[in-house]
Amino acid sequence: MDKKSISRLLALILAVAVLFTVFEQFDGTLSTAQSSVSYTQFMADAKAGKIARVDVQGNRITVTPQSGAEYTLTSPGDIWMVEDLREAGVQVFARPEEQPGFLTSIFISWFPMLLLIGVWIYMMRRMQDGGGSGGAFGFGKSKARMLDGSQNTVRFKHVAGCDEAKAEVQEVVDFLRDPSKYQRLGGRIPRGILLVGSPGTGKTLLAKAIAGEAGVPFFTISGSDFVEMFVGVGAARVRDMFESAKKNAPCIIFIDEIDAVGRQRGAGLGGGNDEREQTLNQMLVEMDGFETGSNVIVIAATNRPDVLDPALLRPGRFDRQVVVPLPDIRGREQILNVHMKKVPVGRDIDVSVLARGTPGFSGADLANLVNEASLFAARRNARTVEMQDFENAKDKIMMGAERRGVVMNEHERRNTAYHESGHAVVARLLPKADPVHKVTIIPRGRALGVTMQLPTEDRYSYDRETLLTMISIMFGGRIAEEVFMNQATTGASNDFERATHLARDMVTRYGMSDKMGPMVYAENEGEVFLGRSVTRTTHVSEATMQQVDAEIRRILDERYEVARKLIVENSDKMHAMAEALLKWETIDSDQIDDIMAGREVRPPKAYDESKSGGAKAESAARAEVSEARPSEKDEERATSSDAAENEEKRD
């Protein structure tokens, strides 16, 4: 029987005892209920000869009248009562007072003390155990959950898209399996491994796979579990966690989101006695102190390595930093294959095409893509998930869900069509623009229309011409409204915001201005003090900032004129694309090719929503050819600035 069961049994016994005592007292009270006959009336009846017998038992008087039922009285202490009853001829009998039994007397005398002792023991155990959710003596207990080798079924084969990261941590697995292989040559396995990467790249899964491959206990805890409202709790939990880990060595400790407790010291207002800093100090001592635990490897994960304390990152603590990046096209294909094993897919599925069409997707994004595709297939009662389901899911994730309930009048629909046509035409005419994949005037998300571009390959940096091209594309929507609709709407607000931000970064951060030169004019945004919300450090004069603003203005004006010239010179293509959008609401790259070539626009590819799985080979081949066009290759979605935003939205 565990402690929890014992505590529950003890509480039940105490509750039964209390109820038993209360009912006994209640029953005794009822049994000693007084009669309505007064003592005076009783004595008058006795003198009148109406009483046959009286039984005296202490202060209790039981009266048996000549006629009627007997009743009970309490003696008022009348010393002449027996003499008066004897003179009246009443038979008086005396009985000894009832004495409680031995066990009853012990229970009555010791029950309050036993009750107090039981309650005290119960509360002490709850406090020591933490009471299930934390108690006075359980605050310092670690909240780390342990998985032994048999419970952890995750292996490296379940982790895809990060081959370099898996190769980095393979040494840890080999060390845990055979420590002597490294120790006989004087080698020392890294005490700590920091997994760094964007959200959803699989850091937690990789750490779990390390423990599963090595077959060792795996302690997992979040960085926020160390922080409590009481001083010293975090440090105590760190000590308890490492003590438990040393008892189960060799083992792995995994701390998720370590930035919650590992931020730079001195970055707040708490001073040296800040609870979070105490927790960090204890973690530093446990990882590399006088009593460093052997064969205990700490693996931490974060997507904010810039805010971590330098003492935490030095060799001896976290010796190795492993970057878990966003997967490339091969990694995305591997991840899709892993998730598609759980889904019945159709014969027309081409994983390589899906991988090319989902650039910048993390592992979590790809898992969500497969799930959304299966939901689309379920809505049409299909037995398999087909390629069109994945296309619909991809559009929903990239552009947002369709809002067909939004009712727009014809004038606003036409304005939206010209707006999106402006983006698309400028993107097709400029040399370094990404190919236009799809244009729609169906409201999606918070946008009334969307122009989506997909790059031909994965990108890791942008040149000056590409950024200038992106600014021109952003201006295409407003220019089309002015030229063809003779109006300016609020739909271009997001375009202007992104274009201005991109031009400012080109001048102040990227050094892409001939006039201002290769110098950084941006404000210092790297301070962690108070979460970067208070400090503003400017290293340039006011006159220089005026020159920066003038240069930004010049870049924006030049790119605006470039976009306007292209739209005015290609007005026939603008009209054709707008009419196609008004007719079909969504056009793809094939139809855009027809418009730009001056050919008759082909109708959109039909897709029978009622058909279920098991498409024919012909339709599968057509879907593969359609998806494999160069315009449907990789899109860069995740970069350090708004230069990475490649889809044009109209809010």
Q: Which residues of 225-234 are buried (b: 16+ CB within 10 A; e: fewer)?
A: bbebeeeebb
| Cis peptide bond N-terminal to 250, omega within 30 | yes
Q: 428, 449, 447: which is closest to 437 by C-alpha?
A: 428
Neighbour tally for 86: CB within 10 Å: 11
Name residue 239's amino acid. Answer: R
Instruction: Tell me the sheet residues that pair with 111.
Output: none
Q: Are strands 60-65 and 71-74 parallel, antiparallel or unpaired?
A: antiparallel
List CB contacts of 611: < 8 A, sequence separation 6 or more. Answer: 380, 382
User: Which two three-digit tokens encode residue 10?
Assistant: 């003890």
169 neighbors 163 (Cβ within 8 angstroms): no
For residue 267, list its beta bridge partners. none
Active-site positions read: 420
CB-based contacts of 381, cutoff 8 Å, min separation 6: 612
What is the Cα–Cα distance from 451 to 474, expressed in whole angstroms? 10
User: Which string of DSSP letters, residue by residue, matches 309-360?
Assistant: -HHHHSTTTS-EEEE-PPP-HHHHHHHHHHHHTTS-B-TT--HHHHHHT-TT
Q: Measure the CA–CA gap between 345 and 306, rounded to whole angstroms.
A: 42
Distances (CA, A) of 125 to 132, 230, 289: 11, 20, 33
From the list 248, 267, 250, the residue with the least C-alpha distance to 183 is 250
Tell me how far apart the alpha carbons of residues 593 and 436 are, in angstroms, rounded to a whole number: 10
What letter would DSSP give residue 308? Answer: B
DSSP class per residue in 82-125: HHHHHHTT-EEEE-PPPPPPHHHHHHHHHHHHHHHHHHHHHHHH
Tokens 């294959």 identify what position? 337
For 238-252, give the DSSP string. HHHHHHHHHHT-SEE
